[in-house]
Amino acid sequence: MIFKKHHIAILLPALMIVGCSSQQTAPQPTKPVRQPNVQVTQTITVKPKPVVRPQVVTPAPKPSYTSFSDWKSDFTMRAIAAGKSANDIQRLLASVNLNQQVISLDSSQPEFSKMPWDYADSAVSGGRVSSGQRKFNEQRSYLSGLESRYGVPAEIIAAIWGMESSFGAVTGNSYIPSSLASLAYDGRRQTFAEEQLLALSDLLQRGDIYWSQLDGSWAGGMGETQFIPKTWLDYGVDGDYNGHRNPWSTADALASTANYLNASGWVRGLAPFYEATLPASFDYSLVGTKQSAAKWAALGIDTIEDVNLDANTPMELWLPAGKDGPILLLSPNFDVIKVYNNSSNYALGVSLLGKALNGQSGLRKSWPRYERPLSTSQVTNLQRRLTSAGYDTKGADGIIGTNTRLAFQRWQADNGQTPDGFITQRSASSLTGW
């Protein structure tokens, strides 16, 4: 499919009009057959690789605990019962302490609490871009080699490097075992944190990391691209071929990032998103849904720049700031970035930083910066009221996630608002009375 400014020309699969080889080769355009707003020519369907999810083996579900010490004792017994070395587990937990700051940070991550423009502004700040371009140029040859091998654009690998550690400058100073143990004892993802502790023990035994090298992020991220232990265990790569996989090594970290994104389904030649425009009569109930590129074109959605897409490519329509902000068609690669951090704001930040590192412009349409976010307590209250009114948010955790946006979108449709799913002080005021 070719999206063009002011009109759309659809590229239907070549099989529908001419015979073609079963081998996948680069598209060879034929002379188009013109119809109103339709252009038929040859193209090749590119199917995304399936996302690879790590297989994990965890101890049996744990009971509730009266103290951190009780959790440590119980986790140790369950880990040993699952086949872990008693000496390794006991040594790992010997120096851990409960860190209340980690628990607090886990419930208020900026990827979920900031307005999208605040997060995007931070991602492409002048300092980050200028230092990033220097680092990008230093590693350009190596990154180009990774792009050729794994199919992930050099600027996307570099952007994750920049987002995760400011290009290796800030890798974290939290004691990883304490961070993970605190999250396992009293966090949102207790089972997940226990899996990471078990993987950390495996990495220490395997020699990827050392007992003297256990400082990282408050969430358990390690090294220059902040891999969590289980993901490094599964996807860590010896990028400099020195026989050692070390997340604090620039070459290893960048190669492992490319390997992880590739294994998670990255599609060569597809940008994470394409900025678009909507027709005046658009049905906003379709916001947040996934349709083929051909279906979106038929509904009158047009990209701002000329874009070549296969007609069958699944695309999601996302309005990060509602009807008055940028309009984005998200490709499967946008979801692949989210395996690194399951936040749309994060994936947008990576995508925009990648563009900036590559000397490309960012979003064309401006943000509605007059809108104001809800506080965590207000979000929790909103979730409860929506659920009570019959619009189930699947919980009240104070975080605006997919379920909350969908519930609010349904409420908007039933209460005279444009159902764009954008939750702000203004859009939610008639429901909450604030």
pLDDT of residue 188: 73
Residues 284 and 255 in one domain: no
Instruction: Residue 199: give its domain's CATH number.
Output: 1.10.8.350
Span 352-366, average pLDDT: 96
Which of 217, 239, 263 is the endpoint of a domain? 263
112, 404 in Cβ contact below 8 A? no
**Tally of structural domains, the chain:** 3
Residues 221 and 278 in one domain: no
Residues 278 and 415 in one domain: no
Of 183, 209, 198, the C-alpha closest to 102 is 183
Give every CB contact of residue 221 below 8 A, 6+ residues apart in sequence.
Answer: 164, 172, 227, 228
Residues 277 and 258 in one domain: no
Residues 189 and 312 in one domain: no
Residues 191 and 291 in one domain: no
Decide if pLDDT at 171 tops 70. Answer: yes
Flag whether 391 is in a domain. Answer: yes
Span 330-354, average pLDDT: 96
pLDDT of residue 96: 95
Q: What is the DSSP string of 92-149?
A: HHHT----HHHHHHHTS-HHHHS-HHHHHHHHT-HHHHHHHHHHHHHTHHHHHHHHHH
**pLDDT band, residue 12 (cuts 50/70/90):** very low
pLDDT of residue 284: 94
Structural domain boundaries, residue 17: 2-44+273-330
Residues 81 and 212 in one domain: yes
Which of 330, 346, 362 is the endpoint of a domain? 330
Flag whether 147 is in a domain. Answer: no
- Give the rounded percent of residues in the chain with a pLDDT score beyond 90: 75
Look at 55 and 432; give whichever has higher pLDDT. 432
Rg (CA), the chain: 24
Flag whether 120 is in a domain. Answer: no
Decide if pLDDT at 349 tops 90. Answer: yes
Residues 182 and 250 in one domain: yes
Buried b / exposed e over 4-29, threshold 16 CB at 10 Å, is eeeebbbbbbbeeeeeeeeeeeeeee
Flag whether 34 is in a domain. Answer: yes
Give the 3-state secondary structure percentages of the chain, helix then strand then coil, rounded to 5.
45, 10, 45
CA 255 – CA 238 distance, rounded (Å): 8
**pLDDT band, residue 433 (cuts 50/70/90):** low
Neighbours of 371 (CB within 10 A): 19
Span 289-304, average pLDDT: 96
Decide if pLDDT at 45 tops 80. Answer: no
pLDDT of residue 187: 66
pLDDT of residue 44: 32
CA 383 – CA 386 distance, rounded (Å): 5
Residues 248 and 177 in one domain: yes
The structure's pTM equals: 0.83
Which of 294, 309, 330 is the endpoint of a domain? 330
Decide if pLDDT at 189 tops 70. Answer: yes
Flag whether 83 is in a domain. Answer: yes
45, 309 in Cβ contact below 8 A? no
**pLDDT band, residue 114 (cuts 50/70/90):** confident
Give every CB contact of residue 25 below 8 A, 6+ residues apart in sequence.
Answer: 44
Span 19-36, average pLDDT: 35
For the stretch 214-272, pLDDT in tens is 999 999 999 999 999 999 999 999 999 999 999 999 999 999 999 999 999 999 999 99
Output the six-digit token pair for 369: 């910066």
Residues 420 and 295 in one domain: no
Flag whether 155 is in a domain. Answer: no
Residues 258 and 184 in one domain: yes
Flag whether 29 is in a domain. Answer: yes
For the stretch 62-98, pLDDT in tens is 457 889 999 999 999 999 999 999 999 999 999 899 9
Residues 221 and 313 in one domain: no
Flag whether 17 is in a domain. Answer: yes
Look at 304 and 33; give whichever has higher pLDDT. 304
